[in-house]
Amino acid sequence: MQLVFASNNPNKIKEIQQLLPDRIQILSLSDIGCEEEIPETANTIEGNAILKANYVTEKYGYDCFADDTGLEYFRQARNQRFWLRSHLQT
């Protein structure tokens, strides 16, 4: 399974990858060819994380999660939303 972490920070990517089982591969924005700056126009950190995850899913078709000041949000390509931690525990 591949998930995109809406980040190009190699330390964040590595840290998240180490927390997950081997069956889940974390891809960065650059791994999927997303070089543009993703707009962060929401009024809250949660809103910005949601904007980033939705942007990647809608434009690139990958399941994606994003953070904004440490908040994590997960968006599945099938338009179902889950908090990442809850999703990975099931």
User: pLDDT category, 81, cuts 50, 70, 90?
Assistant: very low
How remote is the C-alpha of 83 from its chain's centroid?
11
**CA separation for the pair 83, 61 (Å, rounded):** 18
Task: Please tell me the pTM assigned to this model.
Answer: 0.75
Span 6-33, mean pLDDT? 93
**CA separation for the pair 34, 19 (Å, rounded):** 24
Any catalytic annotation for residue 63? no
The catalytically annotated residue of 22, 63, 67, 68 is 68
Instruction: Provide the pLDDT for residue 53.
Output: 93
**CA separation for the pair 17, 61 (Å, rounded):** 20
Strand partners, 26: 3
Strand partners, 46: none
Instruction: Provide the pLDDT for residue 45.
Output: 83
